[in-house]
Structure 1
Amino acid sequence: MKEIRLAKYGKHHAMLSCIGLLLLACSLPVSAAAENAAVIHAAVMHFVRAHLPANVSHARIHVDGPAPGLRFPGCDHLQLDFFGYGNPYGNQTVTVNCPGPSPWKLYLPVRLTISQSVVIAARSLSAGRVLDAADLSVVQRDTNSLSGGALGSPQQAIGRVLRFGTLAGQPITTSMLNAPEVVHAGEQVTVYAEGDGIRIATIANALENGRPGQAILVRNLQSGRVIRGTVTARGAVVVPF
């Protein structure tokens, strides 16, 4: 009889031990058991938004995945980084890496839609036109649809000269513009000969039109000699010697 009681006690003790192990497993943090897809998705959203350029105030971020309902092995600390070049204004890929306790890695595509102010032609404009404020408008456009050099402020275009005609609504870019001509053929201009710390000024006739930074021909009024010099922003011509 004594042996039977001991057997019953041993069996009862084993059952209590099993229940204790089950309770211990239930008390473990959820993150130690699995990572929810929604948590991973939110982490990527936060990572991308934190790396947007300071001049971007409005951006729509779309993360492709993970699929809802998927669960991944629990991770002590998720590590996020850009895969390849992290284009701050366009589409990119983010890696989600779990170093342990059960390592895994995801590559999640991210699509960015960023709007920025863009200067456009308010109406159809012809080549050679010197732009004024009435020629221009400012709209919001998706950066993914813009070519390089798009202007963000009308002040960047006012007073500049269109190199070719544009249609109403067309974005104005830096490559479409020239500085205005500040020297015109037939006008008298001041010519500065510079070199070795010496600067000599004389008067010449411009033989060509010229914009700042452009090289043109001028005729010295005293010597009659034709020389080539570079137009300055103030409409003078500089000749090195």
Structure 2
Amino acid sequence: MVAYCLVCMLTGSLTVLAATPGKIFIEVARTSEVNGPAICLGDVSSITAPDFFKAELARVDLGKSPRAGRMKQISGERITAAINAMGLNDNDINIQVPERVFVKRASQELDPSRVETALGHFLSGFFPKEGFKVKAFSVRGIEPYPQGDLSLVFDKRYTPSDNGRLSVHAEVWVDGVREGRLTVTGRLSQIKSVVVAATRLERGQAITPADVTLRDMDVFGLQPDVMTSVDQVSGMLITRTIDKGECMTQDQFKQAPAIEKGSVIKLVARKDRLSIVTLGVCKEDGYPGQTVTVQNLTSGKLVRGLVTTDGTVEVVF
């Protein structure tokens, strides 16, 4: 009698475990859009079931998603087989699925203007104090990207070229995953105020502030020694003819002498507290801080002296 009761109790327990609690209804849509890298049953269907079974059914894996913006086909038989693999009671589940199911991966577009803005921030690290522009901007490699937090990472090995040509790579990342690589090209234009000739200037001419002016110009491709201040050229001598509007560089000038060759100058000889002043003829162009040869007009002798800033020559003993 006891054995009979135990058998009855075990049989009843197995019947309860095998039964599916409640009716399950699954309706698979013919077309769906997914966000993630994998396609789950819950992404492509409407599921009516008790909460526990509904959550498990929603996680049924139907394969990898297509690339962002692309579409993929899944057969109805494959979906049905994946559901049946859970081992549910056929009498308690109703599946409606098309013969072919089309699944598209959601995507986001990358506007080239966003790339250009990010490029500007990247290049500002190379030109922190100088204004610059990017001309003929072009970007290759843009494609649809998965939904998520998109960021651009430019190649840290990039170094600006002297001629202003721009070519740099950037990686596209979405939610911490590398999704593509771009190539950005263009031409850098760096604007500076530089000294240009206000009129045609002849070789040997001494420059006055009225002879030159400042103008904003693109200095990429120009010589690195362009003049940027009027004070740099004022009083200098031109070594070659410069046309109006031409940008000026250091190699076009030489310092004007404080004393020109053949000039009559004041010649000073000092020794101890004695100071003798006379006149002399300078035999060469003289520059402040340098020595020149002077002929004493009184004695006719040639002496060497140091040129001062006021054009006097002090005899060197």
Could you state the TM-score of these two structures normalised by the residue count of structure 2? Answer: 0.52
- Decide which of 138, 142, 163 is 1:68's aligned counterpart: 142
Q: Secondary structure at the match of 1:210?
A: coil
Inter-partner Cα distance in structure 1 for 2:138 and 2:232: 38
- Corresponding residue for 2:128? 53
Q: Where does the alignment leave 5 or more consecutive residues of structure 2 unmatched?
A: 1-14, 27-48, 62-105
Higher relative contact order (CA closer than 8 Å, sequence separation 6+): 1
1:94-105 pair list within 5 angstroms: 94=168, 96=170
User: CA distance change for structure 1 residues 41 and 115 in 2, over 3 Å: closer, same or farther?
Assistant: closer
Q: Secondary structure at the match of 1:156?
A: helix
- Decide which of 114, 123, 134 is 2:210's aligned counterpart: 134
Instruction: Give the letter aligned to residue 257 of structure 2.
Output: E
- Corresponding residue for 1:167? 243
- Corresponding residue for 1:150? 226
Instruction: Give the letter aligned to residue 147 of structure 1.
Output: Q
Instruction: Give the letter aligned to residue 139 of structure 2.
Output: G
- 1:135 deviates by 1.9
**Is the deviation greater in 68-77 or in 143-152?**
68-77
- Corresponding residue for 2:264? 187
- Corresponding residue for 1:17? 56
Q: Secondary structure at the match of 1:144?
A: coil
Inter-partner Cα distance in structure 1 for 2:180 and 2:276: 76
Summarize deviations over 1:145-169 as a string: whole Å, max 9, x none: 4223222232322222212211122
- Corresponding residue for 2:91? none
Inter-partner Cα distance in structure 2 for 1:149 and 1:108: 29
Residues 129, 161 of structure 1: 8 Å contact kept:
yes
Inter-partner Cα distance in structure 2 for 1:234 and 1:171: 31
Inter-partner Cα distance in structure 2 for 1:168 and 1:131: 14
Q: Secondary structure at the match of 2:225?
A: coil
Summarize deviations over 1:184-223 as a string: whole Å, max 9, x none: 33423445789xxx99966554222223355422246788
Q: Secondary structure at the match of 2:220?
A: helix
- 1:16 deviates by 3.3
Instruction: Give the letter aligned to residue 178 of structure 1.
Output: K
Q: Secondary structure at the match of 1:182?
A: coil
Instruction: Give the letter aligned to residue 49 of structure 1.
Output: S
| Bigger Rg, structure 1 or 2 | 2
- Decide which of 44, 47, 59 is 2:119's aligned counterpart: 44
Please state if 1:6 is matched with 2:20. Answer: yes
Q: Secondary structure at the match of 1:165?
A: coil
Instruction: Give the letter aligned to residue 235 of structure 2.
Output: G
Q: How many residue pairs align between the two structures?
A: 228
% identical equivalent positions: 23
Could you state the TM-score of these two structures normalised by the residue count of structure 1? Answer: 0.65
Inter-partner Cα distance in structure 2 for 1:74 and 1:225: 91
Inter-partner Cα distance in structure 2 for 1:213 and 1:151: 24
User: CA distance change for structure 1 residues 106 and 217 in 2, over 3 Å: closer, same or farther?
Assistant: farther
Instruction: Give the letter aligned to residue 19 of structure 1.
Output: A
- 1:49 deviates by 3.0
Inter-partner Cα distance in structure 2 for 1:42 and 1:140: 23
- 1:230 deviates by 4.9
Residues 82, 95 of structure 1: 8 Å contact kept:
no
- 1:59 deviates by 3.1
- 1:137 deviates by 2.8
Instruction: Give the letter aligned to residue 264 of structure 2.
Output: E
Instruction: Give the letter aligned to residue 141 of structure 1.
Output: M
- 1:238 deviates by 6.3
Summarize deviations over 1:9-48 as a string: whole Å, max 9, x none: 7x955553242579xxxxxxxxxx9996545554333222
User: CA distance change for structure 1 residues 138 and 78 in 2, over 3 Å: closer, same or farther?
Assistant: closer
Residues 124, 167 of structure 1: 8 Å contact kept:
yes
Higher strand share: 2
- 1:123 deviates by 1.9
Instruction: Give the letter aligned to residue 159 of structure 1.
Output: G
Q: Secondary structure at the match of 1:116?
A: strand
